């Protein structure tokens, strides 16, 4: 009857039955092991598949991979790999910032090239007039700003009108690449040469090397940025807001996150880091920009960013792996007389296997068998019996 509710009823909570106290993550190590395994297996499988491909092409996989190892690591060649890592790490950091928010900034080529062009455009004058460290810092900022500015249009369109940023960043990328080329051939053209390229930053003004190595300090800058950013993304409110938005935009709105500001902020950060990656690369390695030059670091780094599951600490070894593969592979492919595009085949294979492993892992996590039912039936029944039955 109604009596029970008139008196303040006993609280509906039985404290004895309450949730267990937080235990110190029992499956933590296991999760880590599984994740690591799931990230490494695609790489290993891709290398094996690459070996099979080499065999089919009549090349020796043993020779190829040992060449990759020799030219990528041995005899101080690891230092070249480390130099390549610098821009790749910053590019990866830039992508992680947006991907964590489930925003696709695919305009990295333009953002990189614009940053690069402004560095070589203003660099020579600044180094001539200002002390080198000041010029370096200012050039870093200019490059970062150039990259960030190129994200503003897609960022605002996405934040205020929900326009798909995949399309807008790609469009802006086409425009930006051409703008960069116009700058190279126009205002920043080196008047002393006939080929379309910018002035060259004097060797003495390039970023100094880490003492005792041929690795420029840009590598340390990149590692530092990655570490700081990792901390920002995992330990601060900004990182959590980004993640909440990335996982569930409706929840972000519900809990009162300023979604528009978040979108614009992460875009700007991403563009800035890409510009920074260009500055480090130009001031550390290239020293000038030719027209139609485009290293397209973003494309090569994307698979590894996902293999690392958007975790910046895990990004470092993967980028190192790619740097070695790329540095050593340049010569190794020549040695077996294959085009360097073969390296892209390996990267593509990694992506392919990653998708397969992810699919299987997900089925496993759902408690299903590794193989789909149709596939199992197909394997179980020999071909001729299947024919008869149908």
Q: Output 250 or 388, the one with its CB closest to another protein.
A: 250
Q: Output 23 or 387, the one with its CB closest to another protein.
A: 23
Least distance CB 207 / another protein (angstroms): 31
Token pair 């790329």 in the structure block, residue: 326
Contact 255, 244 (CB under 8 A): yes
Long-range contacts of 338-345 (CB under 8 A, 24+ apart): 338/57, 338/59, 342/50, 344/300, 345/50, 345/53
Q: Output 191 or 374, the one with its CB closest to another protein.
A: 374
Q: Output 2 or 383, the one with its CB closest to another protein.
A: 2
Q: Is the dihedral of CA 246, 249, 251, 252 positive or negative?
A: positive
Binding site for another protein (CB under 8 A): 1-6, 8-15, 17-23, 25-26, 235-238, 240-241, 243-244, 247-248, 250-251, 253-258, 367
Report the distance separating Cα 22 and Cα 295, nearest Å.
48
Report the distance separating Cα 273 and Cα 111, nearest Å.
9
Contact 124, 199 (CB under 8 A): yes
Closest CA to 259 of 163, 166, 159: 159
Least distance CB 102 / another protein (angstroms): 12
Query: To 10 degrees, what angle do helices 77-100 and 312-335 make?
Result: 130
Report the distance separating Cα 14 and Cα 335, nearest Å.
73
- Ordered DSSP codes for 314-338: HHHHHHHHHHHHHHHHHHHHHHTT-
Q: Output 334 or 368, the one with its CB closest to another protein.
A: 368
Q: Output 70 or 243, the one with its CB closest to another protein.
A: 243
């Amino acid at each position: 009857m109604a009596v029970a509710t008139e008196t303040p009823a006993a609280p509906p909570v039985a404290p004895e039955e309450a949730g267990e106290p937080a235990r110190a993550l029992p499956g933590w190590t296991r999760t880590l092991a599984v994740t690591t395994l799931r990230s490494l297996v695609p790489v290993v499988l891709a290398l094996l598949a690459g070996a099979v491909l080499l065999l089919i092409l009549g090349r020796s996989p043993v020779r190829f991979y040992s060449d990759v190892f020799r030219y990528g690591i041995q005899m101080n060649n690891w230092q070249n790999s480390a130099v390549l890592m610098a821009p790749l790490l910053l590019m990866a950091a830039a992508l992680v910032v947006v991907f964590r928010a489930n925003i696709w900034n695919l305009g990295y080529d333009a953002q990189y090239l614009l940053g690069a062009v402004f560095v070589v455009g203003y660099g020579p004058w600044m180094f001539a007039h200002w002390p080198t460290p000041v010029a370096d810092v200012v050039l870093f900022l200019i490059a970062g700003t150039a990259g960030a500015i190129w994200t503003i249009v897609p960022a605002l369109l996405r934040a205020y009108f929900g326009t798909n940023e995949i399309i807008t960043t790609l469009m802006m990328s086409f425009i930006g690449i051409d703008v960069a080329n116009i700058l190279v051939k126009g205002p920043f053209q080196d008047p002393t040469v006939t080929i379309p390229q910018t002035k060259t930053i004097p060797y003495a003004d390039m970023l100094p090397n880490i003492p005792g190595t041929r690795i420029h300090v840009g590598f340390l800058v990149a590692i530092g940025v990655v570490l700081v950013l990792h901390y920002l993304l995992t330990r601060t409110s900004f990182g959590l807001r980004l993640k909440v938005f990335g996982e569930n935009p409706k929840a972000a709105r519900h809990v009162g996150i300023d979604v528009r500001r978040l979108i614009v902020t992460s875009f700007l950060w991403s563009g800035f880091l890409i510009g920074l990656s260009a500055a480090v690369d130009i001031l550390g390695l290239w020293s000038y920009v030719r027209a139609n030059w485009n290293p397209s670091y973003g494309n090569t780094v994307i698979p590894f960013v996902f293999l690392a599951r958007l975790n910046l600490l895990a990004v470092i070894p993967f980028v190192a792996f790619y740097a070695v593969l790329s540095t050593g592979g340049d010569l190794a492919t020549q040695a077996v007389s294959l085009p360097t595009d073969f390296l892209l085949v390996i990267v593509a294979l990694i992506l392919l296997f990653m998708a397969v492993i992810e699919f299987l892992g997900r089925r496993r996590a759902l408690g299903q068998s590794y193989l789909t039912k149709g596939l199992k039936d197909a394997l179980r029944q020999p071909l001729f019996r299947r024919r008869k039955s149908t």
